[in-house]
Amino acid sequence: MRSSSSKHGHGASENNRSISGHMYTLHQRLYHALNLGTRSYDDKTRKWMCTDIEVQRHVVRSIAAFLDSISGDTLHHPLVKDSVADMVGALVWILHFKNGAILNIAAKVVVKLVNVLPSSVMQPYLLDLVHPLSSLLSLQQVEVAVSCATALNLILSNQSSKSEKAIWGILKKTETVAHIVSNIHDFSGRIIPSEYFQEMASLLSTILRRWPPSRYPVWSDVKLMKALESIHTTPDSSIKVAVLKLYSALALCGSAAMYLIENGEALLQMMVQCMDRSHPHSVRVEGFRLAQCLVRNEETCLKVMSFCCEPFVKAIMCGISQQRSLSGKAADDQVSLLVEACCLALITRWAGEHHIYFWKQGIDGVLLGLLSKDFHKNSYQEFVSLEQQISIAQEILSANYLLVLRGYVWDILGWLATHCGEDFNPKIFRNELYLDILITCACLAFVDAIYKWRQVCQNNDVDTFKSESASRAVLMMIYSPSKYIASKARVILSEILKPNGKEYLIHILRTLNYTASQRNIGMPNILKLVINLIGLTCYCGLPQYRRRLIKSKGIETLMVLVKCRLDNDIHIKRQSFALHLHNKFHDRSCCWVCTEEWEGGDVPLLYSLWGLAELLHNSGSIRNNLNIFADEMTYTETELVSKLQEICIHTSSPGLRWYAAYVLSYFGVYGFPSKLGKRIGKALNEKEYADMQLILTKGQSLSVHGVVFAVRCSALLPPKGLPINEKMCDGSSIKDFTEKVHGEFQKEIRLSAHVDHDALMKLLEYVYLGYAQGGEELVKKLKTLAKRCNLQPLLQLLCRKHLKWCTPFPSSDLSLALGPAGFQFSDIILEAKVTELMCWTCSFCSLSEPHIHVHKVILSSSCDYMRALFQSGMKESHLGTFKVPVSWEALVKLVNWFYSNALSSPPSGCLWDYMETEEKLYKLRPYVELCWLAEFWFLEDLKEDCSNVIVSCLDSARPLSIKIIQIAAEFSLWKLAEVAANYIAPFYRQLRDAGELEALDDMLVDMVRVASVRLSQEGGSNSR
C-alpha cells in the first residue's frame, strides 16, 4: 500500500484543506492497516490478501472509523473516492475468507459503506460485493445473514440496469433465492428475531421485483406459501409490511397473482383489513399496492370481487375519504395514501357488483371531498339552481386542491357514469346535489381545456394532461346509459357553453382539419387531437349544435381523420398521455395475459369512429344529403367499407370493432365481419350437407344447415321435446322426422306468414357470414325478424341504439356445436392416430376410439381438401369415420380451429420457462403436426398460426430448438427447420464442441453451420 499511502499522504495538498484533521488522520490509519495485508502484483494490478484474523479485524475497524468521519460536504472528496476501491477490495476478500469471528462486523461495515457513500461513487464497485454477500446468506449465523441481506438489498436497489444481467448470473450461481426461501422457512418454525424475517423478505421482494425469472420458484414453493400464511397473521406492523411487499412482488407474475387469488381467501381478507384506517400508514399503503397488483385485469378483478366485494369497496372508500388537515410528513403520507387508494378505485372501469357498493358508500360525496377540502363544511339547500351549481363548481376548481388526484377523480366519475343502469337515480343513495356538482365541475374543466388549447402557449402545460381525464368524463356522462346522468350532463354543458360554444366548435373543427392534414402526429399534438375529438363527440350529443356540425362538414372532417388513422401504423394507447394511469411498479410484470382494454390501442381512431357514428346517426341518409366522398376525400366508399371490415376482422379491441360496425351500418352493412364468417359463409348458397328446410307460407323454401342455426340462431329451431306441428312463439310450426323427408331433410320448419322472404334471406346472410348487406327498406322487416329470433347484437345495429361501454363484440365461434347441442346434426367422425385418450366431446358414445363428432358443412367450408374428399367418396355416408394422421392433441386443436378460427396456445411465461425440455416438446409437437397437415391440406392461415406459436417458443431454449429441427425434418417442414437452425446458429461452435449436435444428421448440422456463417458475416457487415 506504499504507493497509495504516499499518494494520499503527500499529494493533493490543496484538496486536503477541505477536510478535517481528524478525518485525514483516520484516512492515514486506514492505509496503514491496509498496508499490513499482502499484495499480489500482476501487470500492475493489486489485490489485498491477508489470513491473519487480527489484521482483518483491524482493517474492518479502520474502514468503519473512516466512514464515520465522512460528512455531507466530503462525500465526493477525491480522498474518499480514491479510497473506495481499496476498501471494497479488502472487504470482498475478508467476506470470501468466511471466518466466523470477523464476518459479522465485516458485513455491518459493508452496510455502512453502501449507506454512507453516494450511489454514483459506489456504482463501479457494487458488483464486486454481490457474490460474497449472496454466498453468505446460507450461513446459520443470524446476525451475519441479516447484515448481508441488508447490504445486498441496498446494492440491488441502487444497481444500474447495465449490470442487471451480470448480477442475475451471480444470484443464480449462488442460489440466492433458494437460500432466502430456506431462511424464511426457518423463521416460521423457530424463534428468530423479526428483523431477520424483515430483511430476508425485503431482499427477496427486491429480487422478485427486478428479475421476473426469480418468481416461479418462489410462488410454486408450497411450503413457503404456507409459511407466509402463518406469518401474515402476526399483529407486528413491520412484519405485515414485509409480507405485503413480498406478496406484491410475487403478484407481478400473472400466474402467481391467479394462484394467490384462487388459493388465498385468508390472504384477501388480511389484505382488505390492512387497508383499513386502524392500521399504520405503511401497512395501509402496502395493502393498497398489493390489491392493485391482484386486480390488474378484468378477470382477476372479478375473481377478487367474488370473494370480498363489499369489504373491498369499503376499504377503498375509507382510503379515498378526506382526512383532517395535516402538515409536514403526515400530510405527505396522507396524499401518498390517497394516490394509492384512488389508483385502486380505477376498478370502476370494469362493470360488476362493486359499482352498486361504491354508490351505497357515497362515492359522489367522497369524490367532491377530493376536489374541495371545505365542501362538506358548507350547508346547501335541498334545491340549488343551475347558476348556483356552476358558481359552486367554479369556486371548487379555483381552489386547486389536491391537483395530483384530479385525473383519478375524473376517471372514476366517468367509469361510474358508464356502468350505471338506465333507471339509475342518485336520490336512492345520497343527496343528488353531490352528483350534480360533480358533473358541473367536470363540464367546467372540460370547457376550460378547450379554451386553453386555443392558446398557443398551452401546448406544454402539464395541467392539460389532467384536462384529458375531465374531458373524457364528460363524454362518458353525455353518453351514459343512465337517463339522469346523460340529461344532467347535456343540460349543464349546454349552459356552460352558451357564451362561447359556437366559437369553440368552429375552433375544434379547424384544429381537426389542420391535424388531419399533418402526416406525423406526436406529443403534445396527440393530446390536442384527443381532446378536440372528445369535444367534437360531446358536441354531437347536444341537439342545438348538431346541425351546425353537419353543415360545417363535420362528417367529412371525421372521415379524413379516420382515413388518417387507418393509414397510420402508429397506434396510441391512452396510457401514453394519461400519465396517472402508468404504474412504474408494474413495469417488470410477467405472465399477465395482455387482453386489450375495450377502448383498444388506438384511442384517436376510437373517438373518430365514435363521433362519426353519432353524426351519421343524426344526418339522415348519407347518399341523399351529403357528398362525403368528394374529390378532396381521396377515399372511395368501397375503400372505407373495406377498411372498416378489416377492423372488425383483424382488431382485438371490442370498442374499435363495435364502432366500425356502427359506421358500416350507415353504408348498408349490418353485422360483424370475421374470418370464420367468411369461411362458413361459403355454405350459404349451397344445398350440400343441408339437413333442414325453412318453408314459408307461399311455398317458398330455403335449405339450411342445422349446426349453424343451432349456435347462431337457435330461436328458429324447435325447442327440445316440442311435439310435431306445435306452434312456436313466432308462429312457426315444425315437422321433426327421424328419417329424412323425401330422402333429403331431417327437419322441415314452417314459418309464420309474417316472415318476409327477402328479410329471411338477409337473416340467413347474417347467420352464415356474420353480417348482412341491404338497403334501408329491408331494415324494418329485418328488425322485426331479428327481434323474434332474439339476435340482440344485430338488433342493436339495426335500431342504432347508443352503444354501452364494455359491451362484448359478438363472437363468431361455432365450437358450441361440438358438444351435445350439436351432436344431433353431426354427420362424420374424426379419429386421431393415437388411441390413448377417450372420447372428447360425447362421453355417451359407445365407441372406444378417441373421436370427435363434426359436421361436413364446417369442414368442407373451411378446407378444400376435405370438400374434395367428401365429394369423391363420402358424400352419402352418415356418421362415416375419417382418420386424421395426427395425434389426439393435434386433432383437438385442429377441430377447435375449424369451429372458432382460434388456436389455443401452450403455457407461457414462467410456467413455460421452468418446464423440462421433454415437456415443452410434448406441448409443441401437436403444432408441428398441424403445420405439416396444414401444408398438405392447403390451410395457409392454420400453417401460419402454428408456425408463429412454435417460433415464439424457440427464443432461448437451445435444447428445444435442436429437438424441433429434428421433428421439422421428419415432417419435411424445411422452412421451420431453417428457423430453428437460425436460433441455434449463435451457439454452433459451443454445441459442436460439447457434442450436443451429434443427435442431428449431417444435413441438419450443415444447415446450422451455414446459418452460423451467415450470422457471423452479417455481424461483420453491420460492424463495418
Indicate if 791 and 869 belong to the same structural domain.
no
Indicate if 697 and 795 belong to the same structural domain.
yes
Per-residue model confidence (pLDDT) at position 503 = 93
Cβ contact 763:769 at 8 Å: no
In angstroms, the CA 831 to CA 315 distance is 55
At position 114, the amino acid (one-letter code) is V
In angstroms, the CA 404 to CA 423 distance is 33
Q: Is residue 473 part of a domain?
A: no
Indicate if 946 and 1023 belong to the same structural domain.
yes
pLDDT average, residue stretch 436-453:
92
Indicate if 197 and 108 belong to the same structural domain.
no
Instruction: Show which of 775, 799, 823 is a domain's final residue.
Output: 799
CA angle centred on 119, ends 118 and 123, rounded to 5°: 130
In angstroms, the CA 454 to CA 450 distance is 7
In angstroms, the CA 602 to CA 609 distance is 11
This prediction's pTM: 0.90
pLDDT class of 572 with cuts at 50, 70, 90? confident
Indicate if 969 and 879 belong to the same structural domain.
no
In angstroms, the CA 493 to CA 485 distance is 12
Query: Residue 42 has what DSSP assignment?
Result: B
Q: Is residue 232 part of a domain?
A: yes
Whether residue 808 is predicted with pLDDT greater than 80 in this model: the reply is yes
Element (H, E) at 640: helix 637-650
Backbone angles phi, psi at 42, to 5 degrees: -150, 105
Indicate if 18 and 107 belong to the same structural domain.
yes
In angstroms, the CA 718 to CA 728 distance is 7
Task: Kindly give, in sequence order, each residue whose CB lies less than 8 Å from that of residue 549, ignoring residues fewer than 6 positions away.
Answer: 505, 509, 536, 539, 540, 615
Cβ contact 841:690 at 8 Å: no
CB atoms under 10 Å from CB of 172, counted, come to 15
Q: Write out the DSSP string of 110-178.
A: HHHHHHHS-HHHHHHHHHHHHHHHHHTTT-S-HHHHHHHHHHHHHHHHH--GGGHHHHHHHHHHTTHHH
Question: Which grid coordinates belong to 576?
Answer: 401514453
Beta strands in 785-912 (DSSP E): 828-831, 851-854, 880-883
Whether residue 462 is predicted with pLDDT greater than 50 in this model: the reply is no
Q: Is residue 1016 part of a domain?
A: yes
At position 576, the amino acid (one-letter code) is S
Q: Which of 254-258, 601-605, 831-835 has the highest mean pLDDT?
A: 254-258
Indicate if 48 and 98 belong to the same structural domain.
yes
| Cα 611 off chain centre by | 26
Question: Which grid coordinates belong to 270?
Answer: 388480511
Rg, C-alpha atoms of the chain: 35
Cβ contact 1004:963 at 8 Å: no
Per-residue model confidence (pLDDT) at position 763 = 94
Angle between helices 776-788 and 757-769 (to 10 degrees): 70
The alpha-helical segments, DSSP class H, found in 71-118 are 78-97, 100-116
Three-state SS for 943? helix
From residue 55, give the alpha-carbon distance in Å to each of 48, 49, 285, 522: 12, 10, 47, 63
Whether residue 60 is predicted with pLDDT greater than 90 in this model: the reply is yes
pLDDT average, residue stretch 919-926:
94
Whether residue 489 is predicted with pLDDT greater than 90 in this model: the reply is yes
Q: Write out the DSSP string of 286-299.
A: HHHHHHHHHTSSHH
Residue 110's DSSP bridge partners are none
In angstroms, the CA 56 to CA 209 distance is 36
pLDDT average, residue stretch 961-979:
93
Q: Is residue 945 part of a domain?
A: yes
Predicted confidence (pLDDT) per residue in 716-760, tens digit: 876 653 333 333 334 343 333 333 333 345 678 888 888 888 899
Question: Which grid coordinates belong to 685?
Answer: 348458397
Indicate if 888 and 974 belong to the same structural domain.
no
Per-residue model confidence (pLDDT) at position 543 = 93
pLDDT average, residue stretch 849-872:
86
Query: Residue 808 has what DSSP assignment?
Result: P
In angstroms, the CA 266 to CA 741 distance is 62
Instruction: Show which of 645, 667, 689 is a domain's final residue.
Output: 667
Give which of 617, 599, 608 is closest to 541, Cα–Cα: 617
Residues spanned by the domain of 82: 1-155
Backbone angles phi, psi at 746, to 5 degrees: -85, -30
Whether residue 268 is predicted with pLDDT greater than 70 in this model: the reply is yes
Task: Kindly give, in sequence order, each residue whose CB lies less than 8 Å from that of residue 908, ignoring residues fewer than 6 positions away.
Answer: 591
Give Dmax (Cα) for the chain: 115
Q: Is residue 1014 part of a domain?
A: yes
Element (H, E) at 369: helix 363-371
From residue 70, give the alpha-carbon distance in Å to each of 4, 17, 33, 66: 19, 15, 18, 7
Whether residue 283 is predicted with pLDDT greater than 80 in this model: the reply is yes
Kindly report which listed range (73-82, 296-305, 533-542) carries the lowest average pLDDT score: 73-82
Matching residue, cell 342493436: 796
Indicate if 61 and 120 belong to the same structural domain.
yes
CATH classification at residue 829: 3.30.710.10
Indicate if 150 and 9 belong to the same structural domain.
yes
Q: Is residue 170 part of a domain?
A: no
Whether residue 437 is predicted with pLDDT greater than 70 in this model: the reply is yes
Cβ contact 371:401 at 8 Å: yes
In angstroms, the CA 61 to CA 55 distance is 10
Share of the chain above pLDDT 70, in %: 86
In angstroms, the CA 288 to CA 566 distance is 40
Q: Is residue 490 part of a domain?
A: no
In angstroms, the CA 530 to CA 541 distance is 17
Question: Burial code of 183-208, b = ≥16 C-beta within 10 A, e = fewer?
Answer: bbebbbeeebeeebbbbbbbbbbbbb
Whether residue 898 is predicted with pLDDT greater than 80 in this model: the reply is yes
Task: Kindly give, in sequence order, each residue whose CB lies less than 8 Å from that of residue 95, ignoring residues fewer than 6 positions away.
Answer: 103, 106, 107, 110, 129, 132, 133, 136
Indicate if 45 and 132 belong to the same structural domain.
yes
In angstroms, the CA 352 to CA 369 distance is 25
Question: Which grid coordinates belong to 357?
Answer: 357498493
Backbone angles phi, psi at 323, to 5 degrees: -95, 175
Whether residue 53 is predicted with pLDDT greater than 80 in this model: the reply is yes
In angstroms, the CA 71 to CA 190 distance is 41
Query: Residue 870 has what DSSP assignment?
Result: I
Q: Is residue 418 part of a domain?
A: no
Angle between helices 176-189 and 222-231 (to 10 degrees): 50
In angstroms, the CA 256 to CA 160 distance is 27
Indicate if 866 and 954 belong to the same structural domain.
no
3-state SS record for 589-618: CECCCCCCCCCCCCHHHHHHHHHHHHHHHC
Per-residue model confidence (pLDDT) at position 947 = 95
Instruction: Show which of 749, 776, 799 is a domain's final residue.
Output: 799
In angstroms, the CA 654 to CA 614 distance is 18
Predicted confidence (pLDDT) per residue in 24-45, tens digit: 999 999 999 998 886 666 666 7
Angle between helices 501-517 and 432-452 (to 10 degrees): 50
Matching residue, cell 392539460: 464
In angstroms, the CA 473 to CA 448 distance is 14
Residue 590's DSSP bridge partners are 253
pLDDT class of 432 with cuts at 50, 70, 90? confident
Question: Which grid coordinates belong to 591?
Answer: 405472465
| CA trace torsion 522, 528, 531, 537 (10° rounding) | -90
In angstroms, the CA 710 to CA 822 distance is 7
Q: Considering its fold, how many domains does the chain have in total?
A: 7
pLDDT average, residue stretch 183-206:
86
Strand 692-695 with 701-704, pairing: antiparallel
3-state SS record for 415-438: HHHHCCCCCCCHHHCCCHHHHHHH
Backbone angles phi, psi at 1009, to 5 degrees: -60, -45
